[in-house]
Chains A and B, each alone.
Chain A
């Protein structure tokens, strides 16, 4: 085992306490208890593609894993120690491991849903709407929460990603997509427009869009001024989006929900979590961004006193097949992992570990329905009734601390 951080005493202390973690109140959870509940924030990070859980939380005592993945398996000695003993964390997740040690992060195992789809577009729709039925709602699972909020004028959700996904899509139009904040801030906006006269016309539609753009730009400017930009983040679009998210939270801006993306399908050489080819290399580029980005994010918001009102989760289209393919990667599978972090979470590993003996067409069977995560966020984090928003009752997944 490798302890990347080097602080062995603190590390072992965390490992010995880890089985008790769900019953202990973490420092972050203490912070959460003092946060204003109505200001709680949810940040969803989409791991673009379909993330392979088995090369993140590695079943180091299971021979089947090493037999089925002769070239891409991670040796037990290279993994980072986890309290369960039979699992090790990918060394690329060292920064995430630090966050888990500190009680700020966790990983939920075995996440999926019945009759899973292995199509990217279909699986994305299901995760974004929280609804696997054929007739999908037009709104996203968080978009429906936004619609239920009181202030009809405020911007309540921001997506820092180029693709206009449906996760934050709201009937009330209170979601904004900001692909590149710098570009938005630099947009030349016309002055002295005949806006009032153009209501209901195509010109009125363009001008209304321009007004929304100006409002979002103004929020971003205020947030940047308020934070002072003192905290270093990893280079690249993901780090920048995390920084903007933290700045807006620190500035007490109106958005409660954020949607970010890590990894991309384009250009062709950009790494994504769709790891059909050279999985280890792609993880080595992406996981450190996730860990280091969240570490910087946590540091900034802990210093500002806002971490207690923040919950971060990741989503991804699906997990991957247990067996590797012929191109040093893995193909589309079923159940996977969900990373989470924040001030009120149950840290460490949660959920049921993947059972390599329980598979369907090569993909891992799920043990936790992802809608149970959404239900828990609605019911215990955001304080709203999850049933009307999700169209049914789902057992909570257990990512939040008992006192969150």
Chain B
């Protein structure tokens, strides 16, 4: 493909994979421009917006609704990266009190999604909601637990088998001393504080480096390891629909990781510029996650607020916002796992009932209009055109519903 001027089909492919969906107005605006310029625009979209600030008093359901709304309104790449990071790093909402604290975690993921991955981990490890999940809260020099360090090493950085017993022990010691104080009000999110008396300030050795590391310094050492970069790069490639990356591409990403200290946007740019990303055989080979289906549909329909039932629809289809499987120990599923069992597919096919769809016939080419707007995989056209010929007052809405509740709409 030419990176100099993207065709409409190429813009749609890019948006499907890097954002929630191809939105017609965006495709119109970006077509004909070079890939780098398009990426520059997408990576620098304004993230501030007029969005309602997070309220710590929100219930679990309200904070789910809050995040959904954020994904509806925010810049596509930043919001999808935050969603990916929540999954990659794992999340369990049950230990987080008040649930509104989860909004702070999402904000950390969003803000750092276009920064370096090691710096993101440094910030995240001391995010109050994350501290409640990892158990770092209250972990002190007299009662050292290896659970927080295991999460950092096994899940966030080098992975199983990538560290020694001493790395685990000394990272555990470095992570001592942090505390989230008791809340004075049920709806209050307490800010963590560092108590030097509870911290083990002795010498430590991590991955061959010796010093009196504190939590941030120790996490950074693990986060900068090449294995951390390799694991993260592979996961990012899978997120973009590149499932069997060639060795050369992995080598490119390893160099980017080293040269940029793990810059997430630079890694993403390198992945998107690869031949593997644009391979014709790889088009339409991603089975979208429920969040991508739902938020993508809302964005394509131009909805400015998330329909009420969508939070429940996400739970029913297997992707409750925040909670990843195994009590936060595993990422969300991928590909065919989303449809196992098939009951999940039946639930997906009810999306159209939740969305406001026009009930009047727009034009003789309603089927073509909807196909262009909702961008399903090929194969639906003949059936939809028959629908149009039958003609009735609500044909347009019915056509849109048939696209949204189709096998083709589940693909990117």
Chain A residues with CB under 8 Å of chain B are 121, 159, 162, 164, 175-180, 183-184, 186-194, 198, 201-203, 205-207, 209-210, 212-213, 216
Contacts and interface: CB of A to CB of B under 8 A. Distances in A.
A312 B258 CA distance: 58
B335 A188 contact: no
12 contacts: A164-B341, A179-B343, A183-B346, A193-B407, A202-B287, A203-B377, A206-B287, A206-B411, A209-B336, A209-B342, A212-B341, A216-B343
B383 A190 contact: yes
A187 B326 contact: no
A191 B316 CA distance: 24
Nearest to B407: A206
Given A201-B285, A206-B339, A216-B342, A192 B383 contact: yes
Contacts of A176: 341-343
A203 B411 contact: yes
A190 B341 contact: no
B287 A190 contact: no
B407 A190 contact: yes
Contacts of A178: 341, 343
Contact of A192 (B285, B339, B382, B411): B382
B123 interface: no
Contact of A213 (B326, B327, B345, B410): B345
A212 B336 CA distance: 13
B368 interface: no
A205 B339 contact: yes
Contact of B379 (A162, A164, A194): A194
A201 B408 CA distance: 12
Interface in B389-412: 402, 405-408, 410-411
A213 B342 contact: yes
B287 A177 contact: no
A55 to B, nearest CB: 25
Interface in B325-362: 326-327, 329, 335-336, 339-347, 349-350
B284 interface: yes
A210 B336 CA distance: 12
B189 interface: no
Contacts of B402: 188, 190
Given A164-B318, A202-B411, A206-B411, 19 more contacts: A176-B342, A177-B343, A177-B344, A179-B343, A180-B343, A192-B382, A193-B407, A194-B379, A198-B379, A201-B285, A203-B411, A205-B287, A205-B339, A206-B410, A209-B336, A209-B340, A210-B345, A212-B342, A216-B342
A179 B340 CA distance: 12
Interface in B239-260: none
B286 interface: yes
A208 to B, nearest CB: 9
Nearest to B377: A203
Nearest to B336: A205
B407 A210 contact: yes
A36 to B, nearest CB: 28
Nearest to B410: A206
Provide the main secondary structure of the chain A interface.
Answer: mixed
Contacts of B327: 121
A187 B407 contact: no
Contacts of B410: 206
Contacts of B379: 193-194, 198, 203
A187 B411 contact: no
A191 B379 CA distance: 12
A307 to B, nearest CB: 28
Contacts of B382: 192
A162 B382 CA distance: 36
A176 to B, nearest CB: 5
A205 B377 CA distance: 14
A169 to B, nearest CB: 9
Given A164-B340, A202-B335, A210-B407, A187 B345 contact: yes
Nearest to A119: B327
Contacts of B406: 190
Residue of B341, B402, B405, B408 with most chain A CB atoms under a 10 A cut-off: B341
A283 B236 CA distance: 47
A213 B343 contact: yes
Contacts of B345: 187, 206, 209-210, 213
A71 B346 CA distance: 46
A193 B63 CA distance: 39
A205 B340 CA distance: 10
Nearest to A266: B315
Residue of B327, B345, B405, B411 with most chain A CB atoms under a 10 A cut-off: B345
B284 A203 contact: yes
A183 B407 CA distance: 17
A117 to B, nearest CB: 13
Contacts of B326: 121
Given A192-B382, A193-B379, A209-B340, A202 B346 contact: no
B383 A191 contact: yes
B190 to A, nearest CB: 22
A366 B375 CA distance: 58
Residue of B316, B344, B379, B407 with most chain A CB atoms under a 10 A cut-off: B407
Contacts of A190: 383, 402, 406-407
Contacts of B377: 203
Contacts of A203: 284, 377, 379, 407-408, 411
B344 to A, nearest CB: 8
Question: Nearest 7 CB-CB pairs, A to B?
Answer: A177-B341, A187-B346, A213-B342, A209-B339, A206-B407, A212-B342, A209-B342
B402 to A, nearest CB: 8
B339 A202 contact: no
Contacts of B344: 177
Given A164-B340, A209-B339, A212-B342, A183 B284 contact: no
A320 B23 CA distance: 54
Nearest to B341: A177
Nearest to B60: A268
A360 B263 CA distance: 51
A202 B284 contact: yes
A147 to B, nearest CB: 16
Given A201-B284, A206-B407, A183 B350 contact: yes
A128 to B, nearest CB: 13
Nearest to B411: A202
Residue of B329, B346, B377 with most chain A CB atoms under a 10 A cut-off: B346
Contacts of A189: 349
A202 B379 CA distance: 13
Contacts of A159: 341
B167 to A, nearest CB: 21
Contacts of B347: 179, 183
A157 to B, nearest CB: 11
A129 to B, nearest CB: 14
A212 to B, nearest CB: 4
A121 to B, nearest CB: 5
